[in-house]
Amino acid sequence: MPNRLGKWFGPWLCVAVMLAPATALAQDRGVTRRAQRSVVVLAVDDVTRPWVYLSIEGIREVFQETAPDIAVFQEFLDSTRFDNPDYIIGVREWLGRKYKDQHIDYVIAYGQEVVDFLSRAKGEPWAGIPLVYLEMTGLSIDISQTLPYATGVLLENNLAIALSVMTQVLPGTNRLAVIYGASPLERERFAGFPERIAQMRPDLKVIDLSGRAMDDLMTNVAALPERTAILNLSIQVDAAGRTFSPTLPCRMIAEGSNRPLFALGLHDLGCGIVGGSLRDWRRVGRGLAERALNLMNGAPAANVTMPVDNYCSIIFDARQLKRWNISEARLPAGSVVQFRTPSLWRDYHREVLVAIAVAGVQAALIVGLLFEHRRRRRAEVEARRHMTAMAHLDRRAAMGELATSIAHELSQPLNAILQNAGVAEIRLSKKPDIGDIAETRDILADIRKDDLRASEIIKRMRGLLQKRELALGTVDVPGLAKDTVALVRSEATSRGIEVVTDIPDDLPAIHGDRVHLQQVLLNLVMNGMDAVAAQPAERRRVVVQAAAHNGHVNIAVRDSGTGLKVARPSEIFEPFVTTKPQGMGMGLAIARSIVDAHNGHMGADNNAESGATVWFAVPVEGKES
């Protein structure tokens, strides 16, 4: 059996390694080259086949890791497809010519065909150069004479294991559809497989689907009987002469078949095969390179033991396991499962734990921040409540200052009412049958008018004395100014001060709390009155102005007093800063916190001529945010 296996696998598994002696020097294009060892890899199949390029990659990897100075060349004979003797002679000559100036230290040969090639014709072109070959469980020829420096890597057959793994994961399987391509190479290489499988596994009935055109194959694999598995050995070229890239056939078959698909190379995993015992050609390459390195390090070829390995791993594709409903419990011990649908816990449990911990910490932080936010919010509410409470006290103080004037103002209508009532009584007592109804009616009308006037004064006062939180709404500025001026009118009169408004009627409404804004304005007006109280009569004048500007309404109180006697006008808004002998210094500080709560701003300036202007601006209704 080894011989036959060698015949099947040998051609594409022969690697010859040739190493150049370290002393070799070569001149190339006038540049002095350092002594460099070199290896030539000689294969049968073209290098685009996965088993070739993967194993060459394995070789390069090892050299790269351990002896990066070794140059690797690769050649392929293509002798399976072109086996006429002239061609072989030509190749030999061509190689000789090609490597005339390139010293080769080792040859890695893929399989018996290459070993044959090198051992015939007295080892030309690289006679006597140490050789590492790869072959399936040994060569069928004796090369000890012609190639004394040869050593090999013996590749154990994997087919039996692959089939047993297959039936282990799919226990009821009793048919195996075997697929390979229609190229001469494939025909020669795989022709014996169906028979061998039948011998090896009598329990499996082989369905031979070799050498078909792809369309035909697809039709067949779509309608396979139950309990059938498919084994794709290789399709390089189909019966219709169509050439396929290495992994495409597996993808196509897996896509179109109604039964699970298997193959023998690890490179097919992920292309639709279920998995199983799969050969890793990269590892094969590494084995060859390590062997070559042993030789290079001086171990005589004859003493280097020949390892026997199948270079296989039992690996499955989780997606296919799922597709064919194969429980992972049935997989052989030590199986690796790839392409899992990302199961974070299985693949990344450490990372997941870290992520959960991070998320937990983050959640704790968020909760903490929320808590903090709530505390802050509560503090803000508290501060706002304090502000409104302070504002209320301030309003009461202001009303206290105005109390005398307001009492006087209130006494006017009350006096008129009392006297009118008295007159009416007198008239009635004197002339109960008086016919002058018109006069009495007039008296009553006057009483009513004065009563309303009194209640208006009380309402105005009570409005300002309300204790309440900020309640934002629409506030018309002219009305606000008018009411405020009305509140101080009596006081102004008694102090001989003229308080006037100069406000356009078309001013937009503002967004705010009427009571609090009136308090601010009242504060400014009363300050203005204090500022002009000591002035000569013609300068005892306070003007309330308003203008819309930049989404705000700016309300200013302008006096003609002596101006602000502070370094910076804005100082007057600081708590406990006062310019008045009896002042607490809280009025403007409270006013500013009220304006702040309206998203407004406040300022003060000395006028160019005389006195000062203190102003505040509050957003226009609808632009408050």
Which residues bind to another protein, rule: CB under 8 A?
Answer: 404, 407-423, 425-427, 443, 446, 449-450, 453, 490, 493-494, 496
Distances in Å between the alpha carbon of 615 and those of 476, 564, 586, 604?
17, 14, 17, 6
For the CB of residue 614, give the shortest distance to another protein in the complex, in Å: 25
For the CB of residue 481, give the shortest distance to another protein in the complex, in Å: 20
Residues in the chain: 625
Bond before 508 cis per omega within 30 degrees: no
Distance CA 422, CA 446 (A): 13
Kindly tell me which of 258 and 411 has the beta carbon lying closer to another protein. Answer: 411
Amino acid in position 407: A
Do 476 and 519 meet the contact criterion of CB atoms below 8 Å apart?
Answer: no
For the CB of residue 584, give the shortest distance to another protein in the complex, in Å: 25
Kindly tell me which of 174 and 419 has the beta carbon lying closer to another protein. Answer: 419
For the CB of residue 441, give the shortest distance to another protein in the complex, in Å: 13
Kindly tell me which of 412 and 562 has the beta carbon lying closer to another protein. Answer: 412
Tokens (6 digits) for 117 = 């090639």
Kindly tell me which of 364 and 426 has the beta carbon lying closer to another protein. Answer: 426
Segment holding 464, helix H or strand E: helix 437-465
User: 452: which residues sit within 8 A by CB, 6+ positions away?
Assistant: none
Kindly tell me which of 175 and 489 has the beta carbon lying closer to another protein. Answer: 489
Kindly tell me which of 241 and 536 has the beta carbon lying closer to another protein. Answer: 536
Distances in Å between the alpha carbon of 485 and those of 122, 201, 460, 516?
125, 112, 11, 15
Kindly tell me which of 393 and 407 has the beta carbon lying closer to another protein. Answer: 407
Tokens (6 digits) for 498 = 């003229």
Between vectors from CA 125 to CA 119 and to CA 127, what angle results, nearest 5°? 55
For the CB of residue 398, give the shortest distance to another protein in the complex, in Å: 18
Segment holding 604, helix H or strand E: strand 601-606
For the CB of residue 439, give the shortest distance to another protein in the complex, in Å: 9
For the CB of residue 419, give the shortest distance to another protein in the complex, in Å: 4
For the CB of residue 457, give the shortest distance to another protein in the complex, in Å: 12
Kindly tell me which of 62 and 402 has the beta carbon lying closer to another protein. Answer: 402
Tokens (6 digits) for 199 = 């011998």
Determine how β-strand 498-502 pairs with β-strand 336-338.
unpaired
3-state secondary structure 180-208: ECCCHHHHHHHCCHHHHHHHHCCCCEEEE
Distance CA 121, CA 127 (A): 9
Distances in Å between the alpha carbon of 311 and those of 10, 48, 153, 161, 498?
16, 20, 11, 12, 109
Kindly tell me which of 422 and 551 has the beta carbon lying closer to another protein. Answer: 422
For the CB of residue 482, give the shortest distance to another protein in the complex, in Å: 19
